Chains A and B, each alone.
Chain A
């Protein structure tokens, strides 16, 4: 099983829609994960962290399911500006090491 798997999409949704992405992972016992956002031809930027208790930031909600080894990102009331690629990021299993980035899920929000 690959370490981090994401549906590449694209997810095409109209403005105002609710959309959710999942990311499955393996080989990590971390307590926190991350979602990054990458706009076309730009650098990745942190969107939000994901904790065991979940995390909500405005229209964005991230959840962690450790038993099933997946994290999710829910976007409510989609905006045109939400169009981007969303990268799931998984810390290592233990100690200090480097992050593992998923290949990303592309979201396209249309008028």
Chain B
């Protein structure tokens, strides 16, 4: 099993450009998450999907949109990238059967917005 995979691994954008970060998991997990990690700020939740067909805002949702395409895939879209969105983005998944449980993370996408 590959676990949680993310594409791309690295990306450089210019201000105003758009892009979609892809995430897929093969563990049959119900819940998926998108985080960003910045130096000194720790992991901050952007959006999450408790189950297929639902999405909810996290701590820092502004400037992002998400799509839970199916049970396996959860994408994050930046419609108009800004330098403040330069960060490392992690996707994670968990069984999410009704109580907090272990989250499994993908390897991350390092995004730079110029």
A8 to chain B, nearest CB (A): 8
B38 to chain A, nearest CB (A): 10
Report A-chain residues with C-beta under 8 Å of the C-beta of B48: 98
Report B-chain residues with C-beta under 8 Å of the C-beta of A103: 40-42
Report A-chain residues with C-beta under 8 Å of the C-beta of B58: 98
Interface size on B, residues (CB 8 A): 22
Report B-chain residues with C-beta under 8 Å of the C-beta of A34: 102
Kindly state whether residue A30 has any CB partner on chain B within 8 Å. yes
Report A-chain residues with C-beta under 8 Å of the C-beta of B105: 43-45
Complex: chain B residue closest to A6, CB-CB: B42
Complex-state Cα separation, A43 to B110, whole angstroms:
12
Binds B, one of A11-19, A66-74, A89-97: A89-97
Q: Which of B43, B45, B96 has the most CB of A within 10 A?
A: B43
Residue-wise, chain B 101-112 has the 8 Å CB interface mask toward A (1 for contact) of 011111110000
- Majority DSSP secondary structure for residues of B touching A: loop
Complex: chain B residue closest to A49, CB-CB: B102
Are A42 and B33 in contact (CB-based, < 8 A)?
A: no
Are B90 and A43 in contact (CB-based, < 8 A)?
A: yes
Kindly state whether residue B100 has any CB partner on chain A within 8 Å. yes
Are B108 and A102 in contact (CB-based, < 8 A)?
A: no
Report B-chain residues with C-beta under 8 Å of the C-beta of A98: 33, 45, 48, 58, 100
Given A43-B106, A44-B90, A104-B99 contact (CB < 8 Å): no
A45 to chain B, nearest CB (A): 7
Partner-A contacts on B (CB < 8 A)? 33, 35, 40-43, 45, 48, 50, 58, 90, 96, 98-100, 102-108
Could you list 30 examples of A-B contacts with CB < 8 Å? A32-B100, A34-B102, A42-B107, A42-B108, A43-B90, A43-B106, A43-B108, A44-B43, A44-B90, A45-B105, A46-B102, A46-B103, A46-B104, A49-B102, A91-B99, A91-B100, A92-B100, A96-B50, A96-B99, A96-B100, A97-B100, A98-B33, A98-B45, A98-B48, A98-B58, A98-B100, A99-B100, A103-B41, A103-B42, A104-B42
- Identify the 5 closest CB pairs spanning chains A and B, nearest first: A103-B42, A91-B100, A43-B105, A101-B43, A46-B102
